[in-house]
C-alpha cells in the first residue's frame, strides 16, 4: 500500500440558484484548511465499477471487463472469484454494480448487475441481476433473478446500480440503451426505469404497474441512472442519472413517478441538437438538483460517520468528467454549497462508499484502476 498525507487538492464552492429545481453552474475557487490522507489500498483493477463492504470488513469490487475480486481489510486483493457468469464487456457494458443481501451474515448472498448475453445466442445483451452464495473466493448457486427486456445490441446506457430499502426490496436502475430514449416513457418495457423486485426475483404486489408487460417498473422517465442510495433518516430511495450534454440529475424516487426523459430535460444532444425545448411538464417530476454543464456523476451515497464530522448527512458523488469527489451540502432539505476534492489527481471517480468508521472509499475508472481510502 502507498500512503501520502496531502492537503485538500481542490475545493470549489458553487453558488446555487433555487427555483423548483436547483442548478449548480458557477464556480468560485476558495482555499480550505481541510487535510485528507489518501491511501491506495489496491491497484491493477481493470476498470473497477462497483464495490460493497462485507461484515468482516473485506470488500468485493467488480471489474467492468468481467471480474469480481475480494479486497481484504488488510489490503490483499484476490484473483477473480470463480464461477462469475459471462458478461458482454462492450463499451459501457460488463460486470457493473454489486451489493449484499440484508441478511448476508446468515445467508452469504450477494447480488450483482451485469450486461448479460442473449440466451438465444444472438447479438445483444440486457442489464441483468444475478444472486449467488459467496464461499470464500468462489460463487455458488448462481441464479439470474431479473433481466431487462428487450435485449439490445449496443453497449450504452445500462444503468445497473443496486440498493436494498428497509423492507428488503431490491431496486435496480436501468438506462434507456441510448438509441431508445423515447421508450423511457413506456412503462410496458424496462427502458429508462428503476425497477423494484423481491430478493427471489418476484414482483412486489404493490408495484405500480403490476398489470403491465413490465410489472417490475417502479419509476420511469430516466436516462441512465449511475447512482442510487437510501436516505439514512427518511428511508427514501435517491438516484442520480447522466443527462445528455447538460442536465445530470439527482432525484428523490417516488412510486409510479415520471422523471420526464426525454420529454423534458435540462440538456441538449451531444451534436448540439435540441432534444426537447421543455424543462417542465405537468405530471413529470423536477430534479432535486441538476448540473449544467454536466459533471458525469457516478456513485452516490450520504455521508454518515465521525471522521469528517462537518460532512454529516451531506451527499457524496464521483465525477467522471471532471475527475473529483464532490460533496453536496444539504440545508433544510435543499442542496446548498458544493465542494470538489482530489480533482488534481486526474482520476475518473466511478464509485464512492463510506465504511462504519467514516472513512471514504473511491474507485478510479481506468485500465489500471485503484481503490482509494480517504481519512483525516
Enclosing H/E stretch for 106 = helix 104-107
Per-residue model confidence (pLDDT) at position 22: 60
Percent of the chain scored above 90 by pLDDT? 88
Per-residue model confidence (pLDDT) at position 109: 98
Give the pLDDT band of residue 232 (cuts 50, 70, 90): very high
Q: Could you give the CA distance from residue 290 to residue 265 in angstroms, rounded to a whole number? A: 10
Taking the CB of residue 233, how many other CB atoms lie within 10 A of it? 9
Per-residue model confidence (pLDDT) at position 120: 84
Per-residue model confidence (pLDDT) at position 12: 40
CA-angle at 318, arms to 314 and 323, nearest 5°: 130
What's the sign of the alpha-carbon dihedral 15, 19, 20, 25?
negative
Q: What are 13-31's pLDDT values in tens digits? A: 333 333 345 665 433 333 3
* Under 8 Å between Cβ of 6 and 36: yes
* Under 8 Å between Cβ of 82 and 139: yes
Per-residue model confidence (pLDDT) at position 35: 83
95-100 and 109-117 beta bridge pairing: antiparallel
Give the pLDDT band of residue 370 (cuts 50, 70, 90): very high
The residues with which 254 forms a beta bridge, in sequence order, are: none
Pick the closest to residue 153 from 122, 174, 182 (CA basis).
Answer: 122
Give the pLDDT band of residue 9 (cuts 50, 70, 90): very low
pLDDT at residue 197 above 60? yes
193-197 and 125-135 beta bridge pairing: unpaired
Sheet containing 48-53, strands listed edge to edge, beginning at the edge strand earlier in sequence:
48-53, 59-63, 67-71, 77-80
Write phi, then psi, for 285 (nearest 5 degrees): -75, 145
Write phi, then psi, for 344 (nearest 5 degrees): -70, -10
Per-residue model confidence (pLDDT) at position 122: 82
Q: What are 317-350's pLDDT values in tens digits? A: 999 999 999 999 999 999 999 999 999 999 999 9
C-alpha grid cell, residue 185: 416513457
- Which is more confident, 182 or 19? 182
Per-residue model confidence (pLDDT) at position 90: 93
Pick the closest to residue 66 from 84, 92, 50 (CA basis).
Answer: 84
pLDDT at residue 157 above 50? yes
Per-residue model confidence (pLDDT) at position 21: 55
Q: What are 71-123's pLDDT values in tens digits? A: 999 899 999 999 999 999 999 999 999 999 999 999 999 999 999 999 888 88
- Which is more confident, 259 or 33? 259
pLDDT at residue 375 above 90? yes
Pick the closest to residue 178 from 198, 159, 199 (CA basis).
Answer: 159
Per-residue model confidence (pLDDT) at position 23: 67
Taking the CB of residue 199, how many other CB atoms lie within 10 A of it? 17
Per-residue model confidence (pLDDT) at position 121: 80
289-291 and 22-29 beta bridge pairing: parallel
Mean residue pLDDT across the chain: 92
Enclosing H/E stretch for 298 = strand 297-302
Write phi, then psi, for 105 (nearest 5 degrees): -60, -25
**Total-model pTM:** 0.92
Overall average pLDDT of the 212-239 stretch? 98
Longest dimension (CA), the chain: 58
Active site residues: 157
* Under 8 Å between Cβ of 257 and 283: no
pLDDT at residue 6 above 60? no
Overall average pLDDT of the 226-234 stretch? 97
C-alpha grid cell, residue 319: 465525477
Q: Could you give the CA distance from residue 149 to residue 223 in angstroms, rounded to a whole number? A: 16
Per-residue model confidence (pLDDT) at position 20: 41
Domain architecture of the chain: domains with CATH: 2-375 (2.120.10.30)
Of the given ranges (18-27, 102-111, 181-190, 194-203), which has the lowest mean pLDDT?
18-27
Overall average pLDDT of the 47-62 stretch? 97
Overall average pLDDT of the 36-41 stretch? 96
Per-residue model confidence (pLDDT) at position 24: 56
Amino acid at each position: 500500500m502507498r500512503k501520502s498525507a496531502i492537503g485538500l487538492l481542490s475545493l470549489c464552492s458553487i453558488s446555487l440558484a433555487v427555483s423548483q429545481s436547483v442548478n449548480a453552474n458557477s464556480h468560485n475557487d476558495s482555499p480550505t484548511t481541510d487535510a485528507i490522507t489518501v491511501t491506495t489500498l489496491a491497484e491493477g483493477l481493470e476498470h473497477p465499477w462497483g464495490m460493497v463492504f462485507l461484515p468482516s470488513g473485506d470488500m468485493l469490487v467488480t471489474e467492468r471487463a468481467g471480474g469480481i475480486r475480494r479486497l481484504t481489510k488488510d489490503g490483499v486483493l484476490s484473483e477473480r472469484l470463480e464461477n462469475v457468469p459471462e458478461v458482454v464487456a462492450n463499451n459501457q457494458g460488463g460486470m457493473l454494480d454489486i451489493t449484499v443481501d440484508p441478511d448476508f451474515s446468515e445467508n452469504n448472498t450477494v447480488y450483482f448487475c451485469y450486461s448479460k448475453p442473449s440466451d438465444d445466442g444472438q447479438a445483444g445483451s440486457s442489464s441483468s441481476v444475478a444472486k449467488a452464495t459467496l464461499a470464500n473466493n468462489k460463487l455458488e448457486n448462481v441464479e439470474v433473478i431479473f433481466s431487462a427486456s428487450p435485449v439490445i445490441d449496443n453497449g450504452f446506457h445500462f444503468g445497473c446500480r443496486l440498493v436494498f430499502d428497509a423492507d428488503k426490496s431490491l431496486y435496480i436502475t436501468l438506462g434507456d440503451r441510448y438509441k431508445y430514449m423515447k421508450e423511457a416513457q413506456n412503462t410496458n418495457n424496462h427502458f429508462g426505469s428503476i425497477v423494484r423486485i423481491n430478493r427471489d426475483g418476484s414482483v412486489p404486489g404493490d408495484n405500480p404497474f403490476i398489470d403491465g408487460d413490465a410489472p417490475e417498473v417502479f419509476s420511469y422517465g430516466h436516462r441512465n441512472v449511475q447512482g442510487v442510495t437510501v436516505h439514512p433518516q427518511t428511508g427514501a430511495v435517491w438516484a442520480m442519472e447522466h443527462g445528455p450534454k447538460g442536465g445530470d440529475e439527482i432525484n428523490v424516487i417516488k412510486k409510479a413517478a415520471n422523471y420526464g426523459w426525454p420529454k423534458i430535460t435540462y440538456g441538449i444532444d451531444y451534436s448540439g441538437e435540441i432534444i426537447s425545448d421543455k424543462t417542465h411538464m405537468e405530471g413529470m417530476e423536477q430534479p432535486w438538483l441538476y448540473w449544467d454543464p454536466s459533471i458525469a456523476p457516478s456513485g452516490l451515497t450520504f455521508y454518515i460517520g465521525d471522521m469528517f464530522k462537518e460532512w454529516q448527512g451531506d451527499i457524496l458523488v464521483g465525477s467522471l468528467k471532471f475527475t473529483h469527489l464532490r460533496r453536496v451540502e444539504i440545508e433544510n432539505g435543499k442542496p446548498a454549497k458544493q465542494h470538489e476534492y482530489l480533482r488534481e489527481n486526474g482520476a475518473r471517480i466511478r464509485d464512492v462508499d463510506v465504511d462504519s468508521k467514516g472513512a471514504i472509499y473511491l474507485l478510479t475508472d481506468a485500465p489500471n484502476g485503484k481503490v482509494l481510502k480517504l481519512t483525516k
